[in-house]
Chains A and B, each alone.
Chain A
Amino acid sequence: DQQVKQNSPSLSVQEGRISILNCDYTNSMFDYFLWYKKYPAEGPTFLISISSIKDKNEDGRFTVFLNKSAKHLSLHIVPSQPGDSAVYFCAAITTSGTYKYIFGTGTRLKVLA
Chain B
Amino acid sequence: GEEVAQTPKHLVRGEGQKAKLYCAPIKGHSYVFWYQQVLKNEFKFLISFQNENVFDETGMPKERFSAKCLPNSPCSLEIQATKLEDSAVYFCASSQIGKYQPQHFGDGTRLSIL
Interface secondary structure of A, over-half rule: strand
Q: Please provide the chain B residues from 35 to 93 with a CB less than 8 Å away from any CB of chain A in the complex.
A: 35, 40-43, 45, 48, 55-56, 58, 91, 93
Chain B residues near A41: list those with CB within 8 A: 107-108
Task: Answer yes or no: A42 CB below 8 A from chain B CBs.
Answer: yes
B106 touches A99 (CB 8 A): no
| A93 contacts B42, C-beta separation under 8 Å | no
CB <8 Å contact, B93 and A98: no
A71 to B16, alpha carbons, bound, how many Å?
43
CA A44 to CA B40, docked complex, whole Å: 12
Q: Are B55 and A46 in contact (CB under 8 A)?
A: no
A45–B102 alpha-carbon span in the complex (Å):
9
Chain B contacts of A93 at CB under 8 A?
100
B33 at the interface (CB under 8 A from A): yes
A101 in contact with B42 (CB, 8 Å): no
B22 at the interface (CB under 8 A from A): no
Nearest Cβ distance between residue B27 and chain A, in whole angstroms? 17
Task: Mark each residue of chain A from 86 to 112: 1 if its CB lies under 8 Å from any CB of chain B, else 0.
Answer: 010100010100111111111000000
Most central of A42, A51, A99 by chain B CB within 10 Å: A99
On B, residues with C-beta under 8 Å from A are: 4, 6, 33, 35, 40-43, 45, 48, 55-56, 58, 91, 93, 99-100, 102-108
